[in-house]
Structure 1
Amino acid sequence: MQSPTFQQELSSPPVINGYPGVPDIPSSPTLGSQNGAIVPPPHLQSHRTLVLCFDGTGDQFDSDNSNVVQLFSMLVKDNPAQLAGIGIYTIPQIATPMMAKISKIVDMMLGNHLDAHVMGGYEFLMQNYEAGDKICIFGFSRGAYTARALAGMVHKVGLIPRCNHQQVPFAYNMYSRDDPQGWDESNAFKKAFSIDVKIEFVGICAVGLIPRRLPFTHANDSIKYFRHALSLDERRVRFKPSTSERPNEKDRCRVKHDVGQGNDVEEVWFAGCHCDVGGGSVENNTRNSLARIPLRWMIRECFKAEVGILFRQDMFKEIGMDPARLYPRVLERPDILYHSPCPPTQCSLKKRQDSKAGSNSASIYSDFVSEELEDVADAISPMYDQLQKTWKWWILEATPQTIFYQDDNDNSNVITCKINMGHGRYVPRQNRDGIKIHRSVKIRMEANCLKDGKYK
């Protein structure tokens, strides 16, 4: 199989309303249109990649899918070099529709079925893993915590051989125990029955309600690359930022495993609320939204890490990316494009089409020029605050809630109780360590025509 070729589609950049002109943006020939082209070429991969994607609680495949579904749709699914699986929200079989609905609502609030989702992902790995495979896990909202828990379970109890389905609940029970006997038993179980497996890449967006703290969900040395997109503007008390914690020596000594190279952790903050970072707040064919920015960032990180995930070349322009800037080498991003007063919300390259009956993605995205221009239009898109849209969330805001966090001074785990009442979120470790804020936040801060006024 030959390497994909990127065909030049643009003769000259169109005029952008509100801009004096389009700067010369360095670019390779872009966006080949051959059906079936794959980036990177699979024949260059020396390993197989297992990709697991976990969506959030209540996020079923519908007209406003999350970034996890968008990412999964970009994956190659018919090549032996890659095996992909997605976990859309499901609940165990319930006898009546009414009880099923009640069970779903309770799980959205309390996470009663988290164990089922983690064990489902574990069984996928158990049945499909072969020596030399690279494991990549993605998640949004509750699915982000599921992704962390699955990686933690593989780290603590190892991966048992395929077809041992009866052992999975037992292995999960040992993983979830945090008492001394549980740690001793999990080490013995791992030594007797399991293989020690590393996780190549974990990419998560905006962790949602956390039902309970499980081992190695906040610090896991077995993950080689950990990428986390966080929301700057989410206010709900049960959606507090769950940043990666520094592993302490006590946890390191509890689990016996082969010593490998250290993990690479990067957590970046983005403008917007929960679904503005993880997706799901706008209709699928909406051209611009805040959620497209962290999706592009996550995919770029996959290429930087060279994990070997295979993507469909024809899907990149739908999210506002040029694959020629990602492969064979990830190119440096040009300078930010932002102007004041800001351009129209649609940032028209020509009149952009909204999702209409009969329109297809090829026509909607045919005017793609560069990721930098997409950043401008996405960065000034509307924000969706659930405390303004749904009054029911205020029940939790007015109720005392238990909060877990790691102390900035001594890294100790702290448990406290508070009534939030819609206050803005606290960004941990910003004073001592500093934090990474995506450059698109500056574009939004410079804009003068946002519907809700100046972004601060």
Structure 2
Amino acid sequence: MSFRKRSPTSESPMFVRFDRASSPEDDGEYAMSPTSSSQSHHVTAVDYGDQTEDLEYSGAPATVGGFKLRSRKQPKRQATVYESDATCLPPIMVGRQRTLVLCFDGTGDQFDNDNSNIVNLFALLKKDDKNVQMCYYQAGIGTYATPGLQLPGMTTVVKILDDAVAWYLDRHVKEGYEFLMENYEAGDKICMFGFSRGAYTARALAGMLHKVGLIPACNLQQVPFAWQMYKDNSPMGWEMSKGFKKTFSVDVDIDFLGVFDTVASVGFFGYTLPFTASNYAIRTFRHALALDERRSRFKANYWHQPTHGQDNLGDRPEDKLKTIRHGHESREGHGTSKGYRKADRWRESGFSETDVKEVWFAGCHCDVGGGSTPNETPFTLAQVPLRWMVRECFRSNTGILFDIDALLEIGLEPENLFPEVIVPRPMPTSKLGYDFDHPDLASALSPMFDQLAIRPLWWILEFLPVKDRKQRAKDKAWYDSLLINLGRARQVPDHLEEIHVHRSVKMRMDAMGYTPKARGLHPRHIVWVD
């Protein structure tokens, strides 16, 4: 649980651990045993067994009883302070769960002179200690060289096919799956990020983990079979998945899945994979969406409520998937280590549905996911959703470790991230009512890159019929229709009571007279978020 205040003489982050005392007193105070009584420290987190509470600072860390409960009585406990790594945020706590972070880049994206937000986010991560965090990056669809193709021009042709129809989607998903197979240990927290088709890859990997589980290490020969069972939506496919998961796999959950503008379908064929639109194995889902994208092949893939049929599928097998969905997983046959229980505490606390937040941002596809501008460009629209995604990692208590210096470089002040504080909005310093030093203001007013205007060849695809898949609000059922897009903007889902729009959109509207292109953006439903 985050500590809410800090000593004004704080120099280095500290960690506090509470243990139950042998003779508890009902006075709501805690005794503390610091590692050093001669220094004042910035206490940032507490951990005392399997319980958590908010604490309020009321004295120097070396003072007995210096920590008091806000509004409840608890037995006295002993506290021990530990030093933490001052180069990363949040502080590395003793006994913390290790984090596995997987990043999947967008179509044609890799490290180059116009990096996407996936590369930029990966640059923010702490990567120097695999005992606390392991980081995996995968270049986007359409960037892979193909082993065995030595004929002149064939590699280029295959890359184009991969780009156009996600020819090697299975390879992208399976390679992420294999990383988890070889590195996951009980109690690890799994977090994923993706952009464009890389976002779909991340969601497909999460779906595969939910349906067939995670095979133990050193069983790579089973991965192709697991993939075939995952994508098989037939009744027999579900029965086979049930048996395969029970025989070979362990259950894992996804602690956080953050994606930038997921595309609606995979390639020209428009097929979908199980649990890519909703997935109870995901604790927190965050999605940054583009208000101004118009291309038919870049329709947004929104989060959907599961249909009644999907709920029934989720009940299979009854002794496994049903308990997973409703938060009472006993993990019979797979052990119940303390680390595993910690990883599923959100379920054991009564949470059974994914915490979902989809937020709209100004700009087109690459204005949200990055990659439209050279790396040296000081301000871009893509910086706004990147900062938002990092903030959501802290707000969701993911434990993902970020490099403090890297956070400062993108305009994020560590003290405003952890412990999470409410920062009062500054007094207006302009006629528009915004502070010109606000980190998102200059980015919000940056140029937009509409590919239909920049590259007219995209219009060829606008005259071809494309499948449009939607979900009815009443019964959550899916229905498909064919349409010719002709450059029409995206349709905001009409069943939403609240449409979350980032406050930077309002900045752009006030300063530039900007009008979002998305259809169905009714003002009475808009909720402005930071």
| TM-score, structure 2 normalization | 0.71
Long gaps (5+) in structure 2: 1-10, 15-40, 43-84, 328-350, 517-530
Q: Matches of 2:171 and 2:428 in 1, distance apart?
A: 45
Tell me which of 365, 371, 375 is aligned to 1:284. 375
Equivalent residue number for residue 72 of structure 1 = 122
Which structure has the bigger radius of gyration?
Answer: 2
Q: Matches of 1:287 and 1:396 in 2, distance apart?
A: 33
Q: Matches of 2:514 and 2:245 in 1, distance apart?
A: 54
Cα contact 1:64–1:282 (8 A) shared by 2: yes
Per-residue Cα deviation, 1:319-353 (whole angstroms, up to 9, x for no partner): 2111110012243462696845699xxx9x8xxxx
RMSD: 2.3
Distance 1:142 1:403, change over 3 A: same
| TM-score, structure 1 normalization | 0.82
Q: What is the DSSP-based 3-state SS (H/G/I as helix, E as strand, rest coil) of the residue aligned with 1:447?
A: helix
Among the aligned pairs, what percent are the same residue?
49
Per-residue Cα deviation, 1:223-264 (whole angstroms, up to 9, x for no partner): 000000001100001111211000133223323423322211
Cα contact 1:336–1:439 (8 A) shared by 2: no
Cα contact 1:206–1:277 (8 A) shared by 2: yes
Equivalent residue number for residue 265 of structure 1 = 356
Equivalent residue number for residue 295 of structure 2 = 236
Cα contact 1:338–1:446 (8 A) shared by 2: no
Equivalent residue number for residue 403 of structure 2 = 312
Long gaps (5+) in structure 1: 7-34, 350-368
Tell me which of 69, 89, 101 is aligned to 1:51. 101
Q: Name the aligned partner's letter for residue 455 of structure 1.
A: T
Q: Name the aligned partner's letter for residue 52 of structure 1.
A: L
Q: Name the aligned partner's letter for residue 440 of structure 1.
A: S
Q: What is the DSSP-based 3-state SS (H/G/I as helix, E as strand, rest coil) of the residue aligned with 2:93?
A: helix
Q: Matches of 1:336 and 1:438 in 2, distance apart?
A: 20
- Greater Cα shift, 98-107 or 305-314: 98-107
Distance 1:339 1:107, change over 3 A: farther
Q: Name the aligned partner's letter for residue 229 of structure 1.
A: A
Per-residue Cα deviation, 1:192-217 (whole angstroms, up to 9, x for no partner): 11001111000000113621200000
Distance 1:338 1:188, change over 3 A: farther
Q: What is the DSSP-based 3-state SS (H/G/I as helix, E as strand, rest coil) of the residue aligned with 2:153?
A: helix
Q: What is the DSSP-based 3-state SS (H/G/I as helix, E as strand, rest coil) of the residue aligned with 1:395?
A: helix
Q: Matches of 2:424 and 2:451 in 1, distance apart?
A: 33
Equivalent residue number for residue 223 of structure 1 = 282
Equivalent residue number for residue 415 of structure 1 = 480
1:358-397 matches, cutoff 5 A: 373-397=438-462
1:33-432 matches, cutoff 5 A: 37-44=87-94, 46-79=96-129, 80-89=131-140, 90-91=143-144, 92-93=146-147, 94-208=149-263, 210-211=265-266, 212-255=271-314, 256=317, 257=321, 258=324, 259-260=326-327, 261-262=351-352, 263-332=354-423, 334=425, 339-340=430-431, 373-429=438-494, 432=496
Higher relative CO (Cα under 8 Å, sequence separation at least 6) belongs to 1
Cα contact 1:206–1:241 (8 A) shared by 2: yes
Q: Name the aligned partner's letter for residue 112 of structure 2.
A: D
CA-CA distance at 1:157 after TM superposition: 0.2
Q: Matches of 1:144 and 1:400 in 2, distance apart?
A: 24
Distance 1:230 1:337, change over 3 A: farther
Q: What is the DSSP-based 3-state SS (H/G/I as helix, E as strand, rest coil) of the residue aligned with 2:425?
A: coil
Q: Name the aligned partner's letter for residue 63 of structure 1.
A: N
Q: Name the aligned partner's letter for residue 177 of structure 2.
A: Y
Q: Name the aligned partner's letter for residue 253 of structure 2.
A: K
Q: What is the DSSP-based 3-state SS (H/G/I as helix, E as strand, rest coil) of the residue aligned with 1:268?
A: strand
Q: Matches of 2:216 and 2:152 in 1, distance apart?
A: 37
Distance 1:286 1:115, change over 3 A: same
Q: What is the DSSP-based 3-state SS (H/G/I as helix, E as strand, rest coil) of the residue aligned with 2:442?
A: helix
Cα contact 1:63–1:283 (8 A) shared by 2: yes
- Greater Cα shift, 82-91 or 229-238: 82-91
Cα contact 1:118–1:146 (8 A) shared by 2: yes
Equivalent residue number for residue 455 of structure 1 = 515
CA-CA distance at 1:108 after TM superposition: 1.4
Q: Name the aligned partner's letter for residue 297 of structure 2.
A: R
Which has more strand, going by share of residues?
Answer: 2
Distance 1:130 1:232, change over 3 A: same
Q: Name the aligned partner's letter for residue 125 of structure 2.
A: L
Q: Matches of 2:431 and 2:259 in 1, distance apart?
A: 33
Cα contact 1:145–1:207 (8 A) shared by 2: yes
Equivalent residue number for residue 17 of structure 2 = none
Distance 1:139 1:330, change over 3 A: farther
Distance 1:86 1:323, change over 3 A: same
CA-CA distance at 1:455 after TM superposition: 3.4
CA-CA distance at 1:41 after TM superposition: 1.5
Distance 1:45 1:399, change over 3 A: farther
Q: What is the DSSP-based 3-state SS (H/G/I as helix, E as strand, rest coil) of the residue aligned with 1:46?
A: coil
Cα contact 2:191–2:256 (8 A) shared by 1: yes
Q: How many residues align?
A: 397
Distance 1:444 1:309, change over 3 A: same
Matching of residue 438 in structure 1 with residue 471 in structure 2:
no
Distance 1:443 1:41, change over 3 A: same
Distance 1:330 1:184, change over 3 A: farther
Q: Matches of 1:175 and 1:440 in 2, distance apart?
A: 39
Per-residue Cα deviation, 1:24-67 (whole angstroms, up to 9, x for no partner): xxxxxxxxxxx971111123461100000000120121011001
Equivalent residue number for residue 3 of structure 1 = 13
Q: Name the aligned partner's letter for residue 455 of structure 2.
A: T
Q: Matches of 1:185 and 1:320 in 2, distance apart?
A: 49
Q: Name the aligned partner's letter for residue 515 of structure 2.
A: Y
Distance 1:249 1:332, change over 3 A: farther
Equivalent residue number for residue 12 of structure 1 = none
Cα contact 2:264–2:301 (8 A) shared by 1: no
Q: What is the DSSP-based 3-state SS (H/G/I as helix, E as strand, rest coil) of the residue aligned with 2:289?
A: strand
Q: Matches of 1:288 and 1:96 in 2, distance apart?
A: 43
Per-residue Cα deviation, 1:347-391 (whole angstroms, up to 9, x for no partner): 9x8xxxxxxxxxxxxxxxxxxx6xxx1211111100000101112
1:12-51 matches, cutoff 5 A: 37-44=87-94, 46-51=96-101
